[in-house]
Amino acid sequence: DMLQMKKITATILKTIGILLGGTLVGAALLSIAFALPVNEANVEASNDIIEKEGWYPAVPIVASSLDTYFHSYMPGVLDGATDRLMLHTTVNPQEENVLHAAMDMNGYDYYWHGYVSVLRPLLLLFDYGEIRTLNGMLQMTLIVLLFLRIYRKKGLPQALMVLTSYFLLMSLAMPFSLQYSWVFYIAVGSALVL
């Protein structure tokens, strides 16, 4: 019983350590991101794209918007409203202090806005349209890598299921939406690791 109790205690302490370590790393990454300057030209170009497309644009025609929440569930409809919020949160922190900016998040402080640690450095180099292009290239690369890994381990039928599931996700829409992309990267990255 004493050995079992030590194992449980060690597991609890390890879990608490991982949680605290993750919290510190997340806060540090967000603080570093907010310490970076803002490329106003890329922000302006990004805002122009987002404004032109509207709240719920549909692909492959991303120049027009359905402008109604009730169409947002349809295939190929992007979540322009959330992408707009993500861009705003990334480039317009309410606080001057980088740690406060990382923790405040414009009133959405009950969410962890980890995307800022990636999106803000990207906006330093690219605008929203260019980020979408990079996003599409990276997503295709990950899908090909996952396809090849499953093909080697399980065979062609299972590998083809990966491609089928990717196309059922509305692969045309995935690279165009920041909101959808984070979930895609977590899922496919986890599948590659597993």
Q: What residues have CB less than 8 Å from 184, skipping those under 6 apart? A: 139, 169, 174
More confident: 63 or 121: 121
CB of 86 closer than 8 Å to CB of 178: yes
**The dihedral sign for the CA sequence 131, 90, 190, 62:** negative
Tell me the pLDDT tens digit for each residue of 125-178: 999 999 999 999 999 999 999 999 999 999 999 999 988 888 877 777 788 888
Of all residues in the chain, the percent with pLDDT exceeding 70 is: 86
Q: Does residue 67 have a pLDDT over 60?
A: no
What pLDDT, on the 0 to 100 scale, is given for residue 106? 67
Q: Does residue 14 have a pLDDT over 70?
A: yes
How does the average pLDDT of the chain come out, rounded?
Answer: 84
Tell me the pLDDT tens digit for each residue of 103-124: 776 666 666 678 888 999 999 9
